[in-house]
C-alpha cells in the first residue's frame, strides 16, 4: 500500500489496541506507512510489541508501545493521558483488542455447556474495552470537534457459520454500541464505524482451526481464500481517513464475499 495524500493520515495520532501481533499489528503498520504516529497498545507481550514498533518505523511512521489492560478503566485513562503528553491529542482509535478466543469448530462450547459468565467475559472483552477507551479518548475529540473510531467486529454477527455463542453475541453488542455512539457523536464531528472480518488466518486465535474447515470455508467464499491480517488493515484505514468523511455507523464486511449486504 503506497502513501495516499487523499487519506489525510500523515501526522495523525492513532491508538490501536491489541496491536502487538495479528490483525492489530497489521493495522498499526498500515497507519505508519501512511505517515501516522501510532501508539501500539498491548497487554503483556513486550517482545511482540517491540517487533510491531520496529515494523512501523521501517514503514516510515513514528510508533511506540503502550502497555495497558484495556479492561481496566484506570489503566486506559493513564494510557490515553500518556499518549496525549507524548504525541498530542488522539485523532483515531481502532478498538481491536478482545478477550482470547479459540476459533475451532471442534473445540467450541455448545449452548448447553455455556454459563452466563462466559457471555459476560466476552462482553467485557469486546464492549467493555471499547467503552473504556472511548470514555477516555472522547473528551479530546469533542474538544477539537473531530475524530474517527473504528471498532473490529465479526461477520459471524451476520452469518454464524459456526455458532460461537458468547463471542458472536458480544461482537453483535459492539455493533449496537458503535451505532449508538455514531448517532450521538455525529453532530460534533466524530465518526464511529466497524470492520467485520471473516476468519483471518493465521492469527493466534485461528492457528488451531483445522485445515478441513478452512478449506470448506474457502470453497464457500467467492474470492476463494481466507482473509490475511493485511486484508483487514485497508478497510480500517479507509474508515479512519478523510476518504470516508461522510460515513458513520457503518459495518464493512471483509470476508471475500462470504456475506453480501
| Residue 159 included in any domain | yes
Closest CA to 12 of 120, 79, 88: 88
Closest CA to 28 of 4, 52, 9, 10: 52
The model carries a pTM of 0.95
Q: pLDDT class for 1, splitting at 50, 70, 90?
A: low
| Residue 260 included in any domain | no
Which H helix or E strand runs over 152? strand 147-152
User: pLDDT tens for residues 132-158?
Assistant: 999 999 999 999 999 999 999 999 999
Which H helix or E strand runs over 142? helix 129-144
Closest CA to 15 of 68, 74, 58, 73: 68
What is the CATH number for 211?
A: 3.40.50.720
The yes-or-no verdict on residue 90 having pLDDT over 80 is yes
What pLDDT, on the 0 to 100 scale, is given for residue 103?
Answer: 86
Closest CA to 7 of 25, 33, 26: 33
User: pLDDT tens for residues 48-68?
Assistant: 999 999 999 999 999 999 999
For residue 161, what is the DSSP state?
A: S
- 22-36 mean pLDDT: 97
Range of the domain at 179: 5-254
How many structural domains are present in the chain? 1
Residues annotated as catalytic (active site), given as ranges: 167
Amino acid at each position: 500500500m503506497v502513501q495516499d495524500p487523499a487519506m489525510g493520515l500523515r501526522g495523525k495520532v492513532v491508538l490501536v489496541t491489541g496491536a502487538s501481533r495479528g490483525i492489530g499489528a497489521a493495522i498499526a503498520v498500515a497507519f505508519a506507512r501512511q505517515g501516522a504516529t501510532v501508539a501500539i497498545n498491548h497487554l503483556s507481550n513486550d517482545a511482540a510489541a517491540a517487533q510491531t514498533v520496529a515494523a512501523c518505523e521501517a514503514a516510515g511512521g513514528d510508533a511506540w508501545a503502550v502497555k495497558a489492560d484495556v479492561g481496566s478503566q484506570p489503566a486506559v485513562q493513564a494510557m490515553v493521558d500518556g499518549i496525549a503528553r507524548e504525541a498530542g491529542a488522539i485523532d483515531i482509535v481502532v478498538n481491536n483488542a478482545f478477550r482470547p478466543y479459540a476459533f475451532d469448530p471442534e473445540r467450541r462450547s455448545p449452548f448447553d455447556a455455556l454459563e452466563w459468565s462466559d457471555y459476560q467475559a466476552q462482553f467485557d472483552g469486546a464492549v467493555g474495552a471499547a467503552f473504556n477507551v472511548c470514555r477516555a479518548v472522547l473528551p479530546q475529540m469533542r474538544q477539537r470537534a473531530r475524530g474517527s473510531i473504528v471498532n473490529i467486529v465479526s461477520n459471524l454477527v451476520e452469518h454464524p457459520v459456526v455458532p460461537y455463542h458468547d463471542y458472536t453475541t458480544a461482537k453483535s453488542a459492539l455493533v449496537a454500541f458503535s451505532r449508538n455512539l455514531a448517532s450521538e457523536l455525529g453532530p460534533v464531528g466524530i465518526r464511529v464505524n466497524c470492520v467485520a472480518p471473516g476468519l483471518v488466518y493465521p492469527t493466534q486465535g485461528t492457528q488451531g482451526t483445522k485445515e478441513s474447515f478452512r478449506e470448506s470455508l474457502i470453497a464457500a467464499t467467492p474470492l476463494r481464500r481466507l482473509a490475511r491480517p493485511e486484508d483487514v488493515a485497508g478497510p480500517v484505514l479507509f474508515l479512519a481517513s478523510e476518504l470516508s468523511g461522510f460515513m458513520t455507523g457503518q459495518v464493512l464486511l471483509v470476508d471475500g464475499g462470504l456475506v453480501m449486504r
